[in-house]
Every structure is written in structure tokens, then in C-alpha cells.
Amino acid sequence: MTKFLTLDDLKAKGKRVLVRLDLNLPLRNGYVTDLTRLERSLPTLKELSCQGAKVIILAHLGRPKGINDSLTLVPVFEALKKAMAPTPVFFCKAAQGLGVTAAIQELKEGEVLLLENIRFVEGEEKNDPTFAQEMESWADIYVNDAFSAAHRAHASTEGIAHLLPAYAGRLMEEELTVLDRVFDHPQRPLMAIIGGAKISTKLPLLESLSSKVDVFVIGGAMASTFLAAQGYNVGASLYEPDLLKVAQDFLAKGVTVLLPQDVIVAQNLEEPERSEIRLISEISEHDKIVDIGSLTIQLILEKMKTCHTLLWNGPLGIFETPPFDKGTTAVAQGAAQLTREGSLFSVAGGGDTGAALANANVLKDFTYVSTAGGAFLESLEGKTLPGVMALEKNNIIYKK
């Protein structure tokens, strides 16, 4: 497991603590529509505030490419202020310069200051050393609680971690601990459900997991490519004909792979009432595979009952269009039941996975659902995350 300092190692009273959070929240008409990422950040903020730290938050919203008023953090600030009440929370309209310095000087112990969108600063995404040094002057300590941005070597995620004593926040600690348990110390058998549209985007993930996973469940449109690689007609379904050999090679590795045995097909997504169930040997040239069938659902759930760890990335069908969410929902609810019973350690994340599990109303029943997208996937692919590596190197320098 990556070695890093946590809040357990930190005495924050009276210290200026720079905290990188993931507050990249969805907005509609100037209001936050989903508080999940904010809520997951609250344990770190409240712990630091209760210790008497002067908390300065760094966060981004979208990809502004310079100052962009439509991506201001003001709506996020309003949500944060309510979530942290009665703790005083302030907003600084700047993300660098004298305005930031002045706002920090006004902070009292236990108070919280949110700076404007850190990506408004040109040096942020360039990991500019000069900007990192400016941030260093603002604080005594750095805490990274934005695992979802840890795959970016930016000034607020990587550069600053080399200049101040650096710690993992509670969410970062939780994400890394869960990934360590799944990869390095899993209770076997380990099942991985991998869905999504294309093998091309999931190939690094499949290759990385092939030596670690006991049972693969392949779903979504990428399953069509695997079925075609086995010689089945997939009709008008989305698949990647240029990757048939890749799919064949993966199946030849000898790993256990569960592919659909029956599917739901439709010729028009706008006419779901005309969808039908087919065995994979019965698909016609005009059929589009949109979900897994009841036989496949049962096959997955029966196999899942023999497993003790589950890693889930990607839906099993077009879950955004009911009733083509039935397969994903049924499997998710089965996993949730096994988790509640204590026989399954279930971890999910990346892409649309969280939305699919929320649609199935099982988010709170899984052992852990990551809020990260790209960082979660890159971790599964075995890639080094700059933000995490910086914490590890900082540990060597500052641990006493």
C-alpha cells in the first residue's frame, strides 16, 4: 500500500491548512444539483475546523481555460456554507494574488475560506513552479483530499505537495485504502464487472486486471465485440470489428469470462415497448443489443454468490433508457443484498457506474462507491497517479 501521512499524523490547531478538494459539482441555472462530492469532503473539512485550523480550500469547476464567469465557484460556495453551518465559511473572488493573501490573513482558527476556481489561474494546469511557490506562501500545511484529481499533475495536486508537509485527507485515505484491499489483499474469488461502450477504452483496464481477477463479467456494448469475436451475429449492435482479434486474444488467456447468454434487443430505442428477448444465437441483422436478458442476470448472480470481492466499472446495458436498465439494476440489487449480508466486499466507480447504481437505488448498500472517474480508472489500470506519488515522496521527507 502507498505510504502517506494522514490527518491522524497532523496537529492542525492554529495552522494555515491548504486543502485540495473535488468540488466539481453539477450545476443547473446557477444551483448545485448533486451534493455527493461536497458531502464526501465534509469529514476532512469538519475535522480540520474542529481542530482549530485556518482552512483554505483549493477546488476547480469544469475546464475554464482562463477566467470564465459561467464556471465561478460562487454556487458551490453557497452550498458549502449551508453544509458547514454554523462554521463560518468565506469566499475569495480571486485564486491568486494579493486578494488571496489578504483573505487568508483575516481567517480565524476554525474558519474556512474557499478560493475562486483554481483553474482560472494559467499556472495551475501547467503545474507552474512559480504558482506552486505562491501557494506555499499561503499556508503551513497541505492536505490533498481530491483523489479524483490525483491523476493530474497540476500545481494544486502535485506541485504544492513537494513544498509543504503534505497529508491525505479522509476521502483520499479511504479511496487508497479500498483500492489496496481490492488489489493487494482481496478476499477471493474476485469478480470484476466491466461494462461500457468500447473495448478500445477499456483495453488497458482489462489487461491490468487479467492477472488479478478470478471472474470477469463483460457487459454493455463492449460485450457485442466479444460475442462477435466468438462468431455470433450481433446484428445492428454497436461493436468494434477491428478489435475482434484483441477480444479473441483476451478470451484465450484462460481467465473466466461471463458473456451474455441472452439479450434484450430493439430496432428503435424510442420504441422500447417493441423490444424483445433473444438468445445470442437468435439475433437478427436489424436487432440492436440494449441490455442483458434474464438468463444472463441469473448466471451472473449465481456466480457472484461464490465470490467475496466485487469490482464494478460500467453499466450492463443502456441504463439511461428504461426499461433497458433492468439488467444493470437486477445485478446491482443482487450485489447490494450480498453486501448487506456480509458475504461480499463491493467496490464500484468510474464513468457512469455511480449513476447506474444510483438508478438502482443501491449506492448506500455497496461497501464503497468512488466519486472519481479518470483517477479511479487509471488506478485500476495500474498507472501511477502524480498526486498520490507526491504524497508518498512527501512522507519520506516529512515523517518524523
Give me the active site residues, please.
37, 198, 351, 374
Amino acid at 390: A
The C-alpha cell at 55 is: 482552512
User: Which of 296, 297, 274 is CA-nearest to residue 287?
Assistant: 274
CB count, 10 Å around CB of 233? 14
Gap between the Cα atoms of 161 and 393, Å rounded:
9
User: Which of 75, 140, 144 is CA-nearest to residue 114?
Assistant: 75
Gap between the Cα atoms of 156 and 138, Å rounded:
12
User: Could you give the strand order of the β-sheet that contains 16-20, starting from the edge strand earlier in sequence?
Assistant: 89-92, 112-115, 54-58, 16-20, 141-144, 166-168
Following DSSP, what letter does each residue of 197-214 receive, concatenated? S-HHHHHHHHHHHTTT-S
How far the first Cα of the chain sits from its last, in Å, is 19
Question: Across-strand partners of 314?
Answer: none
| Cell 424510442 found at | 270
